Amino acid sequence: MWRYIINRLTWVVPVLLAISILVFSMLHLVPGDPVRAMFVESGGATAEQLAQIRHLLGLDKPLHIQYLDYISKALRGNLGQSIITQQSVSELIRANFPSTFQLALAGMSLAVLLGTFLGIVAALHHDSWFDNLTMLIATLGVSMPSFWLGLLLIYVFGIKLRWVPITSGTDLKRLALPAIALGFQAAAIIARMVRSSLLEVLKEDYIRTAHAKGLSNSVVILRHALRNALIPVVTVVGLQFGGLLGGAVIVESVFARRGIGQLLVGALQARDFPLAQGCVLFVAVTYVLVNLAVDLIYGFLDPRIQYHTDSTAL
Protein backbone atom coordinates (compact mmCIF):
# COMPACT_ATOMS: atom_id res chain seq x y z
CA MET A 1 0.00 0.00 0.00
CA TRP A 2 2.77 2.42 0.95
CA ARG A 3 4.61 1.62 -2.27
CA TYR A 4 1.50 2.60 -4.22
CA ILE A 5 1.18 5.90 -2.32
CA ILE A 6 4.87 6.73 -2.80
CA ASN A 7 4.59 5.90 -6.49
CA ARG A 8 1.65 8.30 -6.90
CA LEU A 9 3.42 11.05 -4.96
CA THR A 10 6.57 10.58 -7.02
CA TRP A 11 4.67 11.21 -10.24
CA VAL A 12 3.13 14.41 -8.85
CA VAL A 13 6.49 16.14 -8.34
CA PRO A 14 7.51 16.42 -12.05
CA VAL A 15 3.95 17.42 -12.97
CA LEU A 16 3.98 20.29 -10.47
CA LEU A 17 7.46 21.28 -11.65
CA ALA A 18 6.27 21.40 -15.27
CA ILE A 19 3.24 23.48 -14.24
CA SER A 20 5.45 25.97 -12.41
CA ILE A 21 7.69 26.35 -15.48
CA LEU A 22 4.72 26.90 -17.81
CA VAL A 23 3.10 29.45 -15.49
CA PHE A 24 6.41 31.24 -14.99
CA SER A 25 6.85 31.39 -18.78
CA MET A 26 3.52 33.22 -19.20
CA LEU A 27 5.16 36.56 -18.51
CA HIS A 28 8.02 35.90 -20.95
CA LEU A 29 5.90 34.50 -23.80
CA VAL A 30 3.85 37.68 -24.17
CA PRO A 31 4.70 39.32 -27.53
CA GLY A 32 6.70 42.49 -27.08
CA ASP A 33 7.51 44.03 -23.73
CA PRO A 34 5.04 42.75 -21.07
CA VAL A 35 5.76 45.71 -18.80
CA ARG A 36 4.92 48.22 -21.53
CA ALA A 37 1.77 46.21 -22.35
CA MET A 38 0.50 46.84 -18.81
CA PHE A 39 0.33 50.56 -19.52
CA VAL A 40 -1.04 50.51 -23.08
CA GLU A 41 -4.60 51.48 -22.13
CA SER A 42 -3.44 54.15 -19.70
CA GLY A 43 -1.44 55.95 -22.37
CA GLY A 44 2.01 54.58 -21.56
CA ALA A 45 4.48 55.14 -18.74
CA THR A 46 7.75 56.91 -18.13
CA ALA A 47 11.08 55.12 -18.26
CA GLU A 48 11.35 55.40 -14.46
CA GLN A 49 7.94 53.73 -13.98
CA LEU A 50 8.84 50.93 -16.39
CA ALA A 51 12.14 50.34 -14.60
CA GLN A 52 10.35 50.29 -11.24
CA ILE A 53 7.83 47.67 -12.44
CA ARG A 54 10.61 45.55 -13.95
CA HIS A 55 12.46 45.66 -10.63
CA LEU A 56 9.27 44.80 -8.74
CA LEU A 57 8.67 41.78 -10.99
CA GLY A 58 12.33 40.79 -10.88
CA LEU A 59 12.66 41.11 -14.66
CA ASP A 60 16.02 42.85 -14.27
CA LYS A 61 17.57 39.56 -13.09
CA PRO A 62 18.84 36.62 -15.16
CA LEU A 63 16.10 34.23 -16.26
CA HIS A 64 17.19 31.28 -14.10
CA ILE A 65 17.41 33.54 -11.04
CA GLN A 66 13.89 34.82 -11.78
CA TYR A 67 12.54 31.25 -11.86
CA LEU A 68 14.32 30.24 -8.66
CA ASP A 69 12.94 33.33 -6.91
CA TYR A 70 9.45 32.61 -8.27
CA ILE A 71 9.37 28.95 -7.21
CA SER A 72 10.91 29.62 -3.78
CA LYS A 73 8.28 32.28 -3.05
CA ALA A 74 5.46 30.10 -4.41
CA LEU A 75 6.49 27.25 -2.09
CA ARG A 76 6.10 29.67 0.82
CA GLY A 77 2.66 30.76 -0.41
CA ASN A 78 3.88 34.08 -1.78
CA LEU A 79 2.53 34.51 -5.33
CA GLY A 80 3.57 38.13 -5.65
CA GLN A 81 1.66 41.38 -5.63
CA SER A 82 -1.04 42.65 -7.95
CA ILE A 83 0.20 45.50 -10.16
CA ILE A 84 -3.23 47.14 -10.31
CA THR A 85 -4.55 46.82 -6.75
CA GLN A 86 -1.20 46.51 -4.93
CA GLN A 87 -2.71 43.64 -2.92
CA SER A 88 -1.17 40.26 -2.24
CA VAL A 89 -2.09 37.75 -4.95
CA SER A 90 -2.40 35.01 -2.33
CA GLU A 91 -4.87 37.11 -0.34
CA LEU A 92 -6.96 37.88 -3.44
CA ILE A 93 -7.13 34.18 -4.32
CA ARG A 94 -7.98 33.24 -0.74
CA ALA A 95 -10.82 35.77 -0.71
CA ASN A 96 -12.30 34.60 -4.02
CA PHE A 97 -11.76 30.84 -3.85
CA PRO A 98 -14.70 30.03 -1.51
CA SER A 99 -17.17 31.25 -4.15
CA THR A 100 -15.48 29.14 -6.85
CA PHE A 101 -15.37 26.11 -4.58
CA GLN A 102 -19.05 26.55 -3.71
CA LEU A 103 -19.96 26.62 -7.40
CA ALA A 104 -17.76 23.61 -8.25
CA LEU A 105 -19.16 21.64 -5.29
CA ALA A 106 -22.75 22.45 -6.27
CA GLY A 107 -22.07 21.49 -9.89
CA MET A 108 -20.36 18.26 -8.83
CA SER A 109 -23.19 17.32 -6.44
CA LEU A 110 -25.71 17.83 -9.22
CA ALA A 111 -23.55 15.84 -11.66
CA VAL A 112 -23.10 12.88 -9.29
CA LEU A 113 -26.74 12.65 -8.25
CA LEU A 114 -28.20 13.13 -11.73
CA GLY A 115 -25.52 11.14 -13.56
CA THR A 116 -25.64 8.17 -11.18
CA PHE A 117 -29.43 8.01 -11.21
CA LEU A 118 -29.71 8.21 -14.98
CA GLY A 119 -26.89 5.71 -15.47
CA ILE A 120 -28.41 3.13 -13.12
CA VAL A 121 -31.93 3.41 -14.55
CA ALA A 122 -30.59 3.27 -18.12
CA ALA A 123 -28.56 0.13 -17.35
CA LEU A 124 -31.49 -1.61 -15.66
CA HIS A 125 -33.72 -0.77 -18.65
CA HIS A 126 -31.14 -1.55 -21.31
CA ASP A 127 -32.28 -0.94 -24.91
CA SER A 128 -35.55 0.62 -23.73
CA TRP A 129 -36.87 4.05 -24.73
CA PHE A 130 -35.58 5.47 -21.43
CA ASP A 131 -32.11 4.09 -22.12
CA ASN A 132 -32.09 5.64 -25.58
CA LEU A 133 -33.39 8.96 -24.23
CA THR A 134 -30.74 8.98 -21.49
CA MET A 135 -27.95 8.36 -23.98
CA LEU A 136 -29.33 11.11 -26.22
CA ILE A 137 -29.30 13.57 -23.30
CA ALA A 138 -25.80 12.40 -22.36
CA THR A 139 -24.57 12.97 -25.90
CA LEU A 140 -26.05 16.46 -25.91
CA GLY A 141 -24.51 17.15 -22.52
CA VAL A 142 -21.04 16.10 -23.62
CA SER A 143 -21.31 18.15 -26.83
CA MET A 144 -22.72 21.33 -25.29
CA PRO A 145 -20.19 23.93 -24.05
CA SER A 146 -20.88 25.20 -20.54
CA PHE A 147 -20.86 28.87 -21.59
CA TRP A 148 -23.50 28.23 -24.29
CA LEU A 149 -25.69 26.29 -21.86
CA GLY A 150 -25.26 29.08 -19.33
CA LEU A 151 -26.46 31.71 -21.80
CA LEU A 152 -29.39 29.48 -22.76
CA LEU A 153 -30.39 29.01 -19.11
CA ILE A 154 -30.18 32.75 -18.48
CA TYR A 155 -32.39 33.50 -21.47
CA VAL A 156 -35.05 30.84 -20.73
CA PHE A 157 -35.27 30.73 -16.93
CA GLY A 158 -33.95 34.17 -16.04
CA ILE A 159 -35.31 36.46 -18.75
CA LYS A 160 -38.32 34.72 -20.30
CA LEU A 161 -39.79 32.73 -17.39
CA ARG A 162 -38.24 34.84 -14.58
CA TRP A 163 -38.12 31.82 -12.27
CA VAL A 164 -34.70 32.55 -10.83
CA PRO A 165 -32.58 35.71 -10.55
CA ILE A 166 -29.60 35.96 -12.86
CA THR A 167 -27.58 38.40 -10.76
CA SER A 168 -24.55 37.14 -8.87
CA GLY A 169 -24.87 35.95 -5.29
CA THR A 170 -24.33 33.02 -2.91
CA ASP A 171 -27.92 31.96 -2.12
CA LEU A 172 -29.40 28.82 -3.66
CA LYS A 173 -31.58 30.64 -6.20
CA ARG A 174 -28.60 32.46 -7.65
CA LEU A 175 -26.48 29.32 -7.49
CA ALA A 176 -28.94 27.08 -9.35
CA LEU A 177 -28.34 28.16 -12.95
CA PRO A 178 -24.52 28.36 -12.71
CA ALA A 179 -24.44 24.92 -11.04
CA ILE A 180 -26.57 23.41 -13.82
CA ALA A 181 -24.45 25.02 -16.53
CA LEU A 182 -21.27 23.78 -14.88
CA GLY A 183 -22.41 20.30 -13.86
CA PHE A 184 -24.54 19.20 -16.80
CA GLN A 185 -21.62 18.01 -18.93
CA ALA A 186 -20.11 16.13 -15.99
CA ALA A 187 -23.51 14.54 -15.28
CA ALA A 188 -23.65 13.30 -18.88
CA ILE A 189 -20.18 11.75 -18.63
CA ILE A 190 -20.96 10.12 -15.28
CA ALA A 191 -24.28 8.74 -16.59
CA ARG A 192 -22.55 7.08 -19.54
CA MET A 193 -19.82 5.69 -17.29
CA VAL A 194 -22.25 4.32 -14.68
CA ARG A 195 -24.40 2.71 -17.36
CA SER A 196 -21.44 1.08 -19.10
CA SER A 197 -19.83 -0.13 -15.87
CA LEU A 198 -23.08 -1.50 -14.43
CA LEU A 199 -23.89 -3.38 -17.65
CA GLU A 200 -20.47 -5.05 -17.50
CA VAL A 201 -20.87 -6.02 -13.84
CA LEU A 202 -24.35 -7.46 -14.39
CA LYS A 203 -22.79 -9.99 -16.80
CA GLU A 204 -20.36 -11.35 -14.19
CA ASP A 205 -20.69 -14.89 -12.81
CA TYR A 206 -21.06 -13.81 -9.19
CA ILE A 207 -24.17 -11.80 -10.12
CA ARG A 208 -25.76 -14.92 -11.63
CA THR A 209 -24.73 -16.85 -8.52
CA ALA A 210 -26.40 -14.27 -6.29
CA HIS A 211 -29.61 -14.57 -8.28
CA ALA A 212 -29.37 -18.38 -8.10
CA LYS A 213 -29.18 -18.19 -4.29
CA GLY A 214 -32.60 -16.56 -4.30
CA LEU A 215 -31.56 -13.01 -3.45
CA SER A 216 -33.97 -10.34 -4.59
CA ASN A 217 -33.10 -8.21 -7.58
CA SER A 218 -32.77 -5.03 -5.49
CA VAL A 219 -30.35 -6.72 -3.04
CA VAL A 220 -28.20 -8.07 -5.88
CA ILE A 221 -28.02 -4.67 -7.55
CA LEU A 222 -27.44 -2.55 -4.44
CA ARG A 223 -25.13 -4.85 -2.46
CA HIS A 224 -23.20 -6.59 -5.21
CA ALA A 225 -23.46 -5.04 -8.65
CA LEU A 226 -23.65 -1.33 -7.86
CA ARG A 227 -20.84 -1.40 -5.31
CA ASN A 228 -18.36 -2.83 -7.81
CA ALA A 229 -19.72 -0.87 -10.76
CA LEU A 230 -19.12 2.46 -9.03
CA ILE A 231 -15.40 1.82 -8.37
CA PRO A 232 -14.21 3.06 -11.80
CA VAL A 233 -16.73 5.89 -11.59
CA VAL A 234 -14.75 7.33 -8.65
CA THR A 235 -11.90 8.17 -11.01
CA VAL A 236 -14.27 9.89 -13.43
CA VAL A 237 -15.86 11.88 -10.61
CA GLY A 238 -12.46 13.03 -9.38
CA LEU A 239 -11.32 14.07 -12.83
CA GLN A 240 -14.59 15.89 -13.42
CA PHE A 241 -14.34 17.74 -10.10
CA GLY A 242 -10.89 18.98 -11.02
CA GLY A 243 -12.26 19.98 -14.41
CA LEU A 244 -15.19 21.80 -12.79
CA LEU A 245 -12.79 23.95 -10.79
CA GLY A 246 -11.23 25.04 -14.07
CA GLY A 247 -14.57 25.25 -15.88
CA ALA A 248 -15.91 27.52 -13.16
CA VAL A 249 -13.66 30.20 -14.63
CA ILE A 250 -15.87 30.35 -17.73
CA VAL A 251 -19.21 29.95 -15.95
CA GLU A 252 -18.35 32.65 -13.43
CA SER A 253 -17.71 35.04 -16.30
CA VAL A 254 -21.05 34.20 -17.94
CA PHE A 255 -23.01 34.70 -14.72
CA ALA A 256 -20.82 37.57 -13.40
CA ARG A 257 -20.10 35.62 -10.21
CA ARG A 258 -17.30 36.51 -7.88
CA GLY A 259 -14.55 33.90 -7.88
CA ILE A 260 -11.22 32.83 -9.34
CA GLY A 261 -12.71 33.05 -12.84
CA GLN A 262 -13.69 36.69 -12.52
CA LEU A 263 -10.36 37.39 -10.86
CA LEU A 264 -8.44 35.79 -13.74
CA VAL A 265 -10.47 37.48 -16.49
CA GLY A 266 -10.05 40.85 -14.80
CA ALA A 267 -6.30 40.28 -14.44
CA LEU A 268 -5.95 39.39 -18.12
CA GLN A 269 -7.98 42.39 -19.23
CA ALA A 270 -5.90 44.71 -17.04
CA ARG A 271 -2.67 42.90 -18.04
CA ASP A 272 -1.99 42.27 -14.38
CA PHE A 273 0.42 39.39 -15.08
CA PRO A 274 1.39 38.51 -11.46
CA LEU A 275 -2.30 38.09 -10.57
CA ALA A 276 -2.99 36.09 -13.75
CA GLN A 277 0.01 33.85 -13.06
CA GLY A 278 -1.15 33.26 -9.50
CA CYS A 279 -4.69 32.32 -10.56
CA VAL A 280 -3.51 29.90 -13.26
CA LEU A 281 -0.98 28.29 -10.93
CA PHE A 282 -3.55 27.91 -8.16
CA VAL A 283 -6.16 26.29 -10.44
CA ALA A 284 -3.58 23.95 -12.03
CA VAL A 285 -2.11 22.81 -8.71
CA THR A 286 -5.59 22.28 -7.26
CA TYR A 287 -6.50 20.13 -10.27
CA VAL A 288 -3.38 17.98 -9.80
CA LEU A 289 -3.96 17.56 -6.05
CA VAL A 290 -7.59 16.56 -6.59
CA ASN A 291 -6.49 13.91 -9.09
CA LEU A 292 -3.86 12.68 -6.62
CA ALA A 293 -6.50 12.33 -3.92
CA VAL A 294 -8.70 10.38 -6.34
CA ASP A 295 -5.81 8.04 -7.21
CA LEU A 296 -5.23 7.30 -3.54
CA ILE A 297 -8.94 6.74 -2.84
CA TYR A 298 -9.14 4.46 -5.88
CA GLY A 299 -6.26 2.43 -4.47
CA PHE A 300 -8.18 1.90 -1.23
CA LEU A 301 -11.39 0.94 -3.04
CA ASP A 302 -9.76 -1.46 -5.49
CA PRO A 303 -6.72 -3.29 -4.03
CA ARG A 304 -6.05 -4.84 -7.44
CA ILE A 305 -4.56 -1.49 -8.48
CA GLN A 306 -1.98 -1.78 -5.69
CA TYR A 307 -1.13 -5.36 -6.56
CA HIS A 308 -0.64 -4.44 -10.20
CA THR A 309 1.66 -1.56 -9.24
CA ASP A 310 3.68 -3.74 -6.87
CA SER A 311 4.12 -6.53 -9.43
CA THR A 312 5.17 -3.99 -12.08
CA ALA A 313 7.72 -2.46 -9.73
CA LEU A 314 9.15 -5.90 -8.97
Contact 280, 264 (CB under 8 A): yes
Looking at the fold, whether 148 and 297 belong to one and the same domain comes out as yes
Query: Which SS3 state, helix, strand or coil, does residue 88 take?
Result: strand
Domain that holds residue 29: 2-75
Position 311 scores a pLDDT of 46
Residues 193 and 164 in one domain: yes
Proportion of the chain above pLDDT 70, given as a percent:
88
Residues 6+ apart with CB under 8 A from 77: 90
Determine, yes or no, domain membership for 81. no
Q: pLDDT tier at 305 (50, 70, 90 boundaries)?
A: low
Give the confidence band of 91 by pLDDT, cuts at 50, 70, 90. very high
3-state secondary structure at position 295: helix
Same domain, 138 and 200: yes
For 154-193, how does the pLDDT look when each residue is reduced to its tens digit (9 = 90+)?
A: 889 888 888 887 766 666 778 888 989 888 988 998 898 8
Does any domain span residue 84? no
Domain count, the chain: 2
Residues 101, 196, single domain; the answer is: yes
CA 184 from chain center: how many Å?
A: 14
**In a domain? residue 116:** yes
**269 in the same domain as 142:** yes
pLDDT tens column, 190-199: 898 888 888 8
In a domain, 223, yes or no: yes
